[in-house]
Structure 1
Amino acid sequence: MREPTEEEIKNVIMPLMLSGAKMLDRHCPKCGSPLFEKDGRVFCPVCEYRAKKQMGEVDDVKGILMKKLVEIANSLPGDPEEMEKHLRVMERIIDVLRKYKELEG
Structure 2
Amino acid sequence: MPLMLSGAKMLDRHCPKCGSPLFEKDGRVFCPVCEYRAKKQKEKIDDVKGILMKKLVEVTNSLPSDPEEMEKYLRVMEKIIDVLKKYKELEG
TM > 0.5: yes
Which of structure 1's runs of 4+ aligned residues deviate more than 3 A? none
**What letter corresponds to residue 64 of structure 2 in structure 1?**
P
Equivalent of 1:94 in 77, 81, 92: 81
Partner residue of 1:82?
69
Partner residue of 2:43?
56
Indicate the SS of the match to 2:23: strand
Q: Distance in 2 between matches of 1:28 and 1:104?
A: 22
1:103 CA displacement: 2.1
Equivalent of 2:18 in 27, 31, 42: 31
Which one has more relative contact order, counting CA pairs under 8 Å at least 6 apart?
A: 1
Aligned length: 92
Partner residue of 1:47?
34
What percent of counterpart residues are identical?
A: 89
TM-score, normalised via structure 2 length: 0.91
**What letter corresponds to residue 77 of structure 1 in structure 2?**
P
1:89 CA displacement: 0.2
Indicate the SS of the match to 1:55: helix
